[in-house]
C-alpha cells in the first residue's frame, strides 16, 4: 500500500461555515475538511458524493432527524465566496474554456476532461487522461477507430452541477414505457405518475423557471393547478426572431407531419417569481410566495439571472442552480444532523457475511498529487452511493458489490449532441451572444416515429457558432489572418457576420446497450491507487437515423427563414474525435454531459441493479442514487429526474430506517 | 538619439487604434494599454517591437492622407512586422497572445515568452471582440435580467407578446 496509513489518525479539523439569515432562508454549511470524531460514530446514513443527488438526500434525511455523513472526494474550494470567485478567475484565464476549465485538476479525485478525448483503436486504448477509452467497433462506417465516451463530470464539492447548463425538464409520460409503446429499450419499473410529486419537489429545490401551458403542449403532465416556482425565463431576441419566421411551418417525419415550434426551455435559473406559486405545506415557508435563492454567500446576489451568458461552465453570480445551494441553505436542525467530509474518496464498499454493507472505506488525502492518504471507514445503518454514473459503477465493480445481474457499469448512455449551423440572410441581426446560452428549443420529443428512430430536442443556441466553430474568436482569426482585415472594415464585418450566426444543438435519445460500459482493470489506477474507469462506447442505428432527420430539419428551418446552411462535418475519423458515420455520410457528435444508465433500476433482480426504491437487489442496506438508475433516458436532460429520484429514495430510506 | 523623443506608449495606442478600429480613448478605457504594451515588449523584445512602433511613427509623421493604405503596405504586408501587428490586433480583440507562426520564428528568432495563452483575466474581460459584435464577454460585464430579449442595436422590433 503506497504511503497509506490504516489508522484513523485525527486530522486537521478546518471547520468552514457560511452563516447568515437573510430573506427567510438560513444559510449554514456543515463542511469539514476531515473530522476525527467521524471515525467513531455510527451514522443513520452514510452518503458517497456531494453532487445534487447526494446533497438532496443529505438535506432530506438530516432534515428528518437522521444523522448523516456525506463523503465527498473533491475539494471544498467553494466553501468561501473567494474560493468560488477563484473558479471564475480561473475560467477567465483558461485558454480552452471547456466545461471543467474553472476547476483545477485534482489527481487524487480526477475529473474527466474533453481535452483528453481521442478515438481508441482495436487493441490500443486511449490512456492519456484519467478515463481510459477502449475500442468498440462502430455499428456503421469505417472501423479503424471507435468513439470515445464524449461527456464529462466534475469532482469537487457540488459536483457536476457546478458547470451544468441548468435545464430542468421533466421526462414525458411516454418516455417511461419505451418498450411497450415503441418496441425499444425497456420500460421503467413505474410510470410518470409515480415520479410526478417528486418532480414538484425537484423543481422547487432547483428553483425552476418555466411555463406549465407551454410544457403541456409538448406532452408533459402536471397536477391540475400546478405552477412552476418562477415564470419562464424571457426568450432571447433570436428565439423571437425565429418564432416569428417559422410560424406555421411543419416538418414531415415518417408518416407524420409535425409543427415546428419554438418552446421555452425550463431552467433552474432565477427569473421572476410566479405570483401564483405557494410553498407546499411541508416546507418551512408553507403558503408564502416564492423567493428566489441566489448566491448562498450573499443572498442579495443572483436573485435574477443577470445575463452572464456563461451557465456552462460557471455562473459568476450563482443565479443558476448548483448543488452548493442545496448544501449551503440548510435549516439549523438539518445542519446539526449533517456532517460533510471533503477530500474523502470512497474506495471500497465493505461487505459483511450477511450480505449487508458494513462500511465505506475512504482515502483521505491532503496533497492531491501524491500518493499519501489516510484510510478511514465510515459506518452507518444505511449506505447510499451517489458518486455519478461512472464513478458509482466503478466503486461497485471495485468492491464486487451489487452485481449479481452483471448490469453494473453496462448500458452507459448520453444524449449524443449534434451541432448544425448556418447564416441568417444578409443584414439580419439576431442578438447573438446575449443572455443564457439556451432559452428555447425546437422539440421533436414524441410521436409514432419513435418506433423507427430516436426522439430529440434542438437547443436554439444563443451564442452563434461558439460551440460549432469557437466563435467569435474564430471569426476574428479568419478575418484578421486569412482575409487580412483590420480597423473599421474588420469591426463592421465581424459584427455583421457574428450577428447572423444561427446554430442548433440536437440532443438525441440513446438506447440502453449492454456493451456500452464502464469497466475496471488493475492495470489502470489513479494517484491514490483507485481504479480509473475504462469506457467502451458506440451509438446505435436508432440514434444515428435520428441524426439524419435532425440535420434535415435544421436545413429546412434555416432555409425557411431565408438563411443558408453552413453545416459541414469532418470527412474522416482521423479529423474529429466525435466522427460518426450515418448511412455512409460523415457526421460529428459531441457529448451532452449526460452520463446515465450504469446501474439501472428495474422490477427484476436478473436485469437491473436497483429496485424501484433504488435499493440494490443484492444488499439490503445499500442504495444507489443518480443518473445511473435511469433505465432509458427520453429526451430530457437528466438532472431534474435525478433530483426527483433522490427525493423518492429519501422517502424509502426514511421508511427503512424507521421500520 | 531619435528614440529618446518619442512616446512609445502613445505610438502603441495610435497604431492599435488603426488596427482595431476603436478610438484611442476607448483603448485607454480598457485600462490595458500599459499592460498590453509590457506583455508585447516582454515577448518580442525592444528590437522588433521598437521597429514596429518606429514604422508606425514614420507613417503618422509623413502625414499621409491614407493611413490605412500605408499601414497595410508598410506594416501588415511586411514579413517581419505583419505577423506581429496581426498578433497585437488579436490580443486586443481576445486577450489571447498566440504564438508567432513557425515560419516567422525560423526567420526572426524564437522567444521564451512567446507562448499561446490568455495574458490576463482583465485582458479576457476587456476583449474588444465582444464590443465589436454588440455583446459582452461570457461571465463578465453582465447586462442584466432580460437584456437579451429586446432587439440588438440596428435590428427590428418583433410584433409578439415580448414587445416592449
Ligand atoms: C457541460 C454539462 C452541461 C450539463 N447541462 C445539464 C443541464 O442543462 N440539465 C441537466 O439536467 N443536466 C445537465 N448536465 C448533467 C448534470 O450535470 C448531471 O446530470 C448531474 O450533475 C448529476 O448529478 P449527480 O449528483 O448524480 O452527480 P455529480 O453532480 O457529478 O456529483 C457526484 C459527486 O460525487 C463525488 N464523487 C465521485 N466519486 C466519489 C468517490 N469515490 N468518493 C466520494 N465522492 C465521490 C464527486 O466529486 C461529485 O461531487 C450537464 C453536464 C455537463 C457536463
Ligand atoms: S446567463 Fe449568466 S447570470 Fe444567468 S444564470 Fe447563466 S451564467 Fe448566471
A433 chain-B contacts, CB cut-off 8 A: 130, 133-136, 138
Helix, strand, coil percentages in chain A from 3-state DSSP, rounded to 5? 30, 20, 50
Q: Which residue of B has its CA nearest to A313?
A: B139
Cα A444 to Cα A403: distance, rounded to the nearest angstrom: 36
Q: Is the pLDDT of residue A589 over 90?
A: yes
Q: Report CB contact under 8 Å: A462, B146.
A: no
Q: So what's the pLDDT on residue A296?
A: 87
Q: Which residues contact B112 (CB under 8 A, 6 or more apart)?
A: none
Ligand 2 atom at minimum distance from A305 CA? 4
Assigned domain for B157 exists: no
How far apart are the C-alpha atoms of A105 and A421, rounded to whole Å? 32
Domain, as residue range, for B50: 8-134
Nearest to residue A163, comparing CAs of A113, A129, A236? A113
What is the rounded CA–CA span in Å between residue A466 and residue A498?
A: 10
Q: Is the pLDDT of residue A452 over 80?
A: yes
pLDDT of the residue at A370 = 77
Q: Is the pLDDT of residue A55 over 90?
A: yes
What per-residue confidence (pLDDT) applies to A514? 98
Of A32, A109, A621, give the one whose Cα is nearest residue A327.
A32
Q: Is the pLDDT of residue A486 over 60?
A: yes
Q: What is the pLDDT of residue A620?
A: 97
Interval A28-50 mean pLDDT: 78
Distance (Å, whole) CA A597 – CA A410: 7
Residue A607's pLDDT band (cuts 50, 70, 90):
very high
pLDDT digits (tens, 9 = 90+) for A316-363: 999 999 999 999 888 888 989 999 999 999 999 999 999 999 999 999
Query: How many Å apart are CA A467 and CA A432, to the nearest integer?
Result: 13
Q: Is B63 helix (H, G, I), strand (E, B) or coil?
A: coil
Q: Give the nearest chain A residue to B150 (CA atoms).
A: A237
Question: Closest Cα partner for A262 from A557, A468, A519, A507?
Answer: A557
Condensed to tens digits (0 to 9), the pLDDT of residues A500-513 reads: 999 999 999 999 99
Residue A34's pLDDT band, with cuts at 50, 70 and 90, is low
Does residue B88 sit within a domain?
Answer: yes
The 10s digit of each residue's pLDDT in A217-247 is: 999 999 999 999 999 999 999 999 999 999 9
Kindly provide the b/e burial profile for residues A248-275, where b requires at least 16 CB atoms within 10 angstroms of the residue's own CB.
Answer: eeebebeeeebebbbbbbbbbbbbbbbe
Sorted by sequence, the CB contacts under 8 Å of residue A213 that are 6+ apart come out as none
For chain B, the average pLDDT equals 94
Chain A residue with Cα closest to B163: A240
With a cut of 90, say whether residue A287 has pLDDT above it.
Answer: yes
As a whole number of angstroms, the distance between CA A377 and CA A362 comes to: 6
Pocket of ligand 1 (CB under 6 A): A 48-54, 71-74, 99, 109, 151-153, 155, 159-161, 163-167, 312, 345-346, 386-388, 391, 395, 593-594, 626-627, 637-640, 642
Total domain count, chain B: 1
Question: Is the pLDDT assigned to residue B104 strictly greater than 70?
Answer: yes
**C-beta separation of A475 from B130 below 8 A:** no
Give the DSSP letter string of A434-472. Answer: -SSSEEEEEEE--SGGGGTS--EEEEEETTTTHHHH-TT
| Residue A291 reports pLDDT greater than 70 | yes
What's the ipTM?
Answer: 0.95
pLDDT at A297: 87
Residue A200: the pLDDT is: 98
DSSP A39: G
Q: What is the pLDDT of residue A49?
A: 98
Q: What is the mean pLDDT of residues A257-273?
A: 96
- Has residue B23 been placed in a domain? yes
Residues A506/A461, Cβ–Cβ less than 8 Å? no
State whether residue A91 is helix, strand or coil: helix
Backbone angles phi, psi at A395, to 5 degrees: -65, -40
Of A249-258, A650-659, B4-13, B76-85, give the lowest mean pLDDT range: B4-13
pLDDT at A581: 98
pLDDT tens string A369-405: 778 899 999 999 999 999 999 999 999 999 999 999 9
Cβ-Cβ contacts under 8 Å, B138 against chain A:
97, 308-310, 433, 463
Contacts of A485 (CB under 8 A, 6+ apart): A479, A493
The strand pair at A438-444 and A456-461 is best described as: antiparallel
Q: Is the CB of A52 under 6 A from ligand 2?
A: no
CB pairs under 8 A between A and B: 169
A548: left (phi over 0), alpha (psi -120 to 50) or beta: alpha
- Give the C-alpha separation, A523 to A510, whole Å: 30
**For residue A18, what pLDDT is reported?**
37
For chain A, give the mean pLDDT. 93
Tell me the ligand closest to A433's alpha carbon: 2
Q: List the single range of A28-32, A442-446, A452-456 with lowest mean pLDDT.
A: A28-32
- Distance from the Cα of A600 to chain B's closest Cα (Å) equals 37
pLDDT at res. A299: 78
Local confidence band at B5 (pLDDT 50, 70, 90 cut-offs) = low
DSSP letter, residue A480: I
A113 vs A421: which has the higher pLDDT: A421
B164 occurs within a structural domain = no
Domain-located, residue B115: yes
Q: What's the full length of chain A, in residues?
A: 659
3-state secondary structure of B14: helix
Check whether A20 has a pLDDT greater than 50. no
Least confident of A170-179, A278-287, A367-376, B76-85: A367-376
Q: Give the pLDDT of residue A308.
A: 85
pLDDT digits (tens, 9 = 90+) for B12-41: 999 999 999 999 999 999 999 999 999 999
Q: Per-residue pLDDT for A39 more than 90?
A: no
- C-alpha to C-alpha distance for B92 and B89, rounded to whole angstroms: 5
Closest CA to A376 of A338, A350, A337, A402: A350
What are the Cα distances from residue A15, in Å, to A32, A66, A636? 5, 21, 38
HSE-CB at A530 with a 13 A cutoff on CA atoms is 32
pLDDT in tens, B35-59: 999 999 999 999 999 999 999 999 9
Q: How far apart are CA B42 and CA B115, in angstroms?
A: 12
Q: Which residue of B has its CA nearest to A303?
A: B145
Backbone angles phi, psi at B122, to 5 degrees: -65, -40
Cβ pair B120:A91 closer than 8 A: no
The span from the CA of A632 to the CA of A450, in Å, is 13
A317 CB within 6 A, ligand 2: yes
Residue B13 CB-half CA count within 13 A = 17
The CA A350 to ligand 1 mean position distance, Å, reads: 24
B20 and A491 within 8 Å at the Cβ level: the answer is: yes
Strand partners, A27: A20
Per the document, the length of chain B is 164
**Which residue, among A656, A657, A638, A650, has the nearest Cα to A206 in the 3D structure?**
A638
The ligand that comes nearest to the alpha carbon of residue A171 is 1
d(CA A45, CA A414): 30
pLDDT reported for residue A8? 30
Round to whole Å and give the CA distance between A191 and A15: 43
* pLDDT-derived band at A256, boundaries 50, 70, 90: confident
Tell me, yes or no, whether B143 lies in a domain.
Answer: no
pLDDT > 70: what percent of chain A? 95
pLDDT in tens, A163-214: 999 999 999 999 999 999 999 999 999 999 999 999 999 999 999 999 999 9
Distance of CA A620 to the CA centre of its chain: 28
Residue environment code for A573-593, b if the CB has 16+ CB neighbours within 10 A, otherwise e: beebbbbbbbeeebbbbbbbb
Is the pLDDT assigned to residue A627 strictly greater than 80? yes
Local confidence band at A30 (pLDDT 50, 70, 90 cut-offs):
low
Amino acid at each position: 500500500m503506497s504511503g497509506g496509513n490504516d489508522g484513523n489518525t485525527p486530522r486537521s479539523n478546518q471547520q468552514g461555515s457560511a452563516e447568515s439569515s437573510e430573506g427567510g432562508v438560513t444559510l449554514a454549511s456543515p463542511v469539514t475538511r476531515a473530522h476525527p470524531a467521524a471515525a467513531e460514530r455510527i451514522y443513520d446514513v452514510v452518503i458517497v458524493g456531494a453532487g445534487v443527488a447526494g446533497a438532496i438526500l443529505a438535506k432530506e434525511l438530516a432534515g428528518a432527524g437522521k444523522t448523516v455523513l456525506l463523503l465527498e472526494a473533491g475539494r471544498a474550494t467553494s466553501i468561501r465566496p473567494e474560493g468560488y470567485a477563484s473558479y471564475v478567475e480561473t475560467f477567465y484565464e483558461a485558454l480552452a474554456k471547456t466545461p471543467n476549465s474553472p476547476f483545477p485538476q485534482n489527481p487524487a479525485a480526477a475529473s474527466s476532461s474533453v481535452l483528453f478525448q481521442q478515438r481508441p483503436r482495436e487493441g490500443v486504448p486511449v490512456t492519456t487522461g484519467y478515463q481510459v477509452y477502449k475500442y468498440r467497433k462502430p455499428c456503421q462506417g469505417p472501423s479503424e477507430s471507435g468513439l470515445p465516451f464524449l461527456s464529462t463530470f466534475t469532482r469537487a464539492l457540488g459536483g457536476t452541477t457546478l458547470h451544468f447548463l441548468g435545464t430542468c425538464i421533466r421526462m414525458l409520460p411516454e418516455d417511461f414505457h419505451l418498450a411497450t409503446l415503441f418496441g425499444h429499450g425497456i420500460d421503467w419499473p413505474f410510470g410518470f405518475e409515480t415520479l410526478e410529486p417528486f418532480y414538484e419537489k425537484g423543481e422547487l429545490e432547483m428553483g425552476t423557471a418555466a411555463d406549465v401551458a407551454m410544457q403541456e403542449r409538448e406532452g408533459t403532465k402536471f397536477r391540475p393547478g400546478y405552477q412552476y416556482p418562477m415564470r419562464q425565463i424571457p426568450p432571447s431576441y433570436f428565439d423571437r426572431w425565429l418564432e416569428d419566421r417559422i410560424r406555421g411551418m411543419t416538418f414531415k417525419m415518417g408518416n407524420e407531419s409535425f409543427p415546428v415550434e419554438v418552446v421555452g426551455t425550463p431552467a433552474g435559473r432565477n427569473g421572476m417569481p410566479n405570483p401564483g406559486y405557494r410553498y407546499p405545506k411541508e416546507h418551512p415557508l408553507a403558503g408564502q410566495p416564492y423567493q428566489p435563492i441566489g448566491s448562498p454567500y450573499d443572498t442579495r446576489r443572483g436573485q435574477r439571472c443577470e445575463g452572464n451568458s456563461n451557465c456552462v461552465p460557471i455562473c459568476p453570480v450563482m443565479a443558476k442552480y448548483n448543488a452548493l445551494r442545496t448544501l449551503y441553505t440548510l435549516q439549523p436542525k438539518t445542519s446539526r444532523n449533517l456532517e460533510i467530509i471533503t477530500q474523502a474518496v470512497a474506495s471500497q464498499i465493505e461487505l459483511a457475511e450477511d450480505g449487508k454493507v458494513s462500511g465505506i472505506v475512504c482515502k483521505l488525502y491532503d496533497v492531491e498529487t501524491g500518493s499519501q492518504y489516510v484510510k478511514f471507514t465510515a459506518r452507518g445503518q444505511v449506505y447510499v452511493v451517489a458518486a455519478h454514473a461512472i464513478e458509482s459503477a466503478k466503486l461497485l465493480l471495485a468492491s464486487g458489490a451489487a452485481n449479481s445481474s452483471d448490469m453494473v457499469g453496462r448500458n452507459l448512455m448520453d444524449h449524443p449532441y449534434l451541432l448544425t449551423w448556418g447564416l441568417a440572410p444578409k443584414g439580419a441581426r439576431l442578438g447573438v451572444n446575449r443572455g443564457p446560452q439556451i432559452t428555447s428549443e425546437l422539440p421533436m420529443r414524441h410521436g409514432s416515429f419513435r418506433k423507427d428512430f430516436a426522439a430529440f430536442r434542438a437547443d436554439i443556441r444563443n451564442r452563434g457558432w461558439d460551440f460549432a466553430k469557437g466563435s467569435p474568436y474564430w471569426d476574428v482569426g479568419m478575418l484578421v489572418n486569412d482575409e487580412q482585415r483590420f480597423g473599421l472594415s474588420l469591426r463592421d464585418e465581424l459584427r455583421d457576420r457574428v450577428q447572423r450566426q444561427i446554430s442548433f444543438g440536437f440532443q438525441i435519445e440513446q438506447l440502453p446497450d449492454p456493451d456500452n460500459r464502464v469497466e475496471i482493470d488493475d492495470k489502470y489506477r489513479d494517484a491514490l491507487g483507485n481504479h480509473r474507469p475504462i469506457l467502451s462506447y458506440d451509438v446505435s442505428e436508432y440514434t444515428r437515423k435520428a441524426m439524419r432527420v435532425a440535420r434535415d430539419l435544421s436545413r429546412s428551418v434555416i432555409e425557411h427563414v431565408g438563411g443558408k446552411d453552413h453545416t459541414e462535418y469532418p470527412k474522416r475519423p482521423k479529423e474529429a474525435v466525435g466522427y460518426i458515420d450515418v448511412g455512409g455520410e460523415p457526421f460529428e457528435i459531441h457529448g451532452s454531459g449526460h452520463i446515465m444508465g450504469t446501474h439501472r433500476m428495474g422490477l427484476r433482480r436478473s436485469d437491473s441493479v436497483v429496485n424501484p426504491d433504488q435499493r440494490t437487489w443484492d444488499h439490503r442496506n445499500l442504495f444507489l442514487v443518480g443518473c445511473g438508475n435511469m433505465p432509458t433516458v427520453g429526451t430530457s436532460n437528466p438532472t431534474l429526474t435525478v433530483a426527483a429520484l433522490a427525493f423518492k429514495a429519501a422517502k424509502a430510506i426514511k421508511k427503512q430506517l424507521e421500520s | 538619439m531619435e528614440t529618446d523623443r518619442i512616446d512609445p506608449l502613445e505610438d502603441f495606442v495610435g497604431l492599435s487604434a488603426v488596427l482595431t478600429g476603436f478610438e484611442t480613448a476607448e483603448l485607454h478605457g480598457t485600462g490595458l494599454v500599459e499592460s498590453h504594451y509590457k506583455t508585447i515588449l516582454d515577448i518580442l523584445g525592444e528590437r522588433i517591437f521598437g521597429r514596429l512602433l518606429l514604422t508606425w511613427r514614420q507613417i503618422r509623421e509623413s502625414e499621409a492622407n491614407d493611413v490605412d493604405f500605408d499601414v497595410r503596405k508598410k506594416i501588415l504586408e511586411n514579413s517581419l512586422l505583419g505577423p506581429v501587428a496581426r498578433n497585437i490586433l488579436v490580443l486586443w480583440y481576445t486577450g489571447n497572445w498566440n504564438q508567432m507562426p513557425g515560419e516567422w520564428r525560423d526567420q526572426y528568432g524564437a522567444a521564451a515568452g512567446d507562448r499561446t495563452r490568455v495574458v490576463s483575466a482583465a485582458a479576457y474581460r476587456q476583449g474588444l471582440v465582444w464590443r465589436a459584435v454588440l455583446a459582452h464577454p461570457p461571465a463578465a460585464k453582465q447586462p442584466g435580467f432580460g437584456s437579451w430579449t429586446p432587439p440588438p442595436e440596428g435590428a427590428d422590433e418583433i410584433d409578439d407578446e415580448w414587445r416592449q
